[in-house]
Structure 1
């Protein structure tokens, strides 16, 4: 891996993690085209995701502080925060089950670029349907455990490269009548335990990283963090204005291009 590889992939991860266009799909396609790129397992990819999740922690630091302190508070808002915390825990269960059960199988898909292209077409279709048929305006206080389990299951399936995690989870909540901004915030918060778990599982590959490449891994993570901060702000603005169609079109174009170049 070179410094250019680390910066380029970190930038791609940061720009695409929160936009509904599948960061894993873009990483897989870009890595496929970079000459000489190698990584142990998908450790570098996981560290890039960890960088963008640190952006979530910083961006939603007040929400996280309220959630984590809610079991020890007795004010009225603490009740809502405790309920939201339970929903996030409930949503993390199906994600963990799917991720742990199919981890090795999903990792093998990162080399299958035609599959990535096909899944990008699926992502585009999901975004199109969710924007066209979104209904309701439910807020955080209206979220149910069924909402959490549905979106947690969708997030687990989004391990497949080409399926956008943010796009599919936000789309699932939109179709269940949840307000767009609420759907995005819940999606971002739900991703935190999933990414942390994936990072811990990938630590076993650290020994295979050449000592001289550790700074490159950290550089890519830092770039992903910085770009992720901007990406979160941009997506929340797009969600408010109900403009997911543009991302659906982009996914269809990117998926079609991947299929055309590899088949």
Structure 2
């Protein structure tokens, strides 16, 4: 992998992880375009690690409070005080834990199925088109006003299931989870925050798993292109988060549908006439 390729992939990861256009789908397409076949697992993991860093940096105050309240809640359990969910950050911690369970189960039970989809460009294209329809429908339907008080645990499970579905390359994780939040009635700010926070355990868990696989298989080499690609992914991700928040506030989430439909359609046509 060249330095130029790493830079391009880092830029696209930073953009597509947070904008609802599917980072996994774009990475599959770009790696296919560049003909990259070696070291892709470890490089992809490091790019996602860059996205993880973007969320932590952008929401550092909230993330800090989530971590502190989580350990305080665990401390209360060990002290025999029971599970005390007595503030918004503790409730958010519980919602994130519950929402992460469906994703983890789907990733574990359907691992081979999802990985098989990465080898099919046509399936990625179809998934991109599906994501476009999801965004278009959600923006027209969603008028939620729920805050953290009205956020139910069943809502978190539904959003977690949608995040699990988004393991499919071409289905946007951020798009699916934000749409899920809107459809269960969350206000746009909370739906966006929960989407990003729900990505933290998901990306962190996947990163640990894939790094272990990469090192055990001898495919993990931390070189200059990987380091630079990861840093670029983090920096670009910060701007992408802010841009997505702006688009949501303006009610323009469906704008991304047109891009996804065009990209998916072009890919299908080009592959049919190869």
Q: How far apart are residue 235 of structure 1 and its match?
A: 0.4
- TM-score w.r.t. length of structure 2: 0.90
Taking a change above 3 Å as real, the CA distance of residues 226 and 78 of structure 1, as seen in their structure-2 partners, is farther
Q: Distance in 2 between matches of 1:130 and 1:226?
A: 29
Q: How far apart are residue 43 of structure 1 and its match?
A: 2.5
Q: For residues 55-134 of structure 1, what are the structure 2 equivalents within 5 Å?
A: 55-71=54-70, 72=72, 79-134=87-142
Which of these residues, 218, 223, 239, is aligned with residue 208 of structure 1?
A: 218
The CA deviation string for residues 114-155 of structure 1, in whole angstroms up to 9 with x for no partner, is 000000110000001100111221122221101110011110
The ranges of structure 1 where at least 4 consecutive aligned residues each deviate by more than 3 angstroms after the TM superposition are none
What corresponds to 1:3 in structure 2? 3
Taking a change above 3 Å as real, the CA distance of residues 40 and 106 of structure 1, as seen in their structure-2 partners, is farther
Which of these residues, 181, 187, 199, is aligned with residue 189 of structure 2?
A: 181
- Contact 1:32 1:111 survives alignment (8 Å): no
Structure 1: give runs of 5+ residues left out of the alignment. Answer: none
Which of these residues, 212, 215, 225, is aligned with residue 234 of structure 2?
A: 225
Q: Distance in 2 between matches of 1:106 and 1:219?
A: 28
Q: Distance in 1 between matches of 2:176 and 2:40?
A: 25
- Contact 2:21 2:131 survives alignment (8 Å): yes
- Contact 2:177 2:195 survives alignment (8 Å): yes
Cα RMSD between the aligned structures?
1.8
What corresponds to 1:18 in structure 2? 18
Structure 2: give runs of 5+ residues left out of the alignment. Answer: 77-84
What corresponds to 1:42 in structure 2? 41
The CA deviation string for residues 35-81 of structure 1, in whole angstroms up to 9 with x for no partner, is 3x12346222122111011100111111111112225389xx96111
What corresponds to 1:142 in structure 2? 150
The CA deviation string for residues 61-110 of structure 1, in whole angstroms up to 9 with x for no partner, is 11111112225389xx9611111100000001111111112223212211
Taking a change above 3 Å as real, the CA distance of residues 220 and 78 of structure 1, as seen in their structure-2 partners, is farther
- TM-score w.r.t. length of structure 1: 0.93
How many equivalent pairs are there? Answer: 259
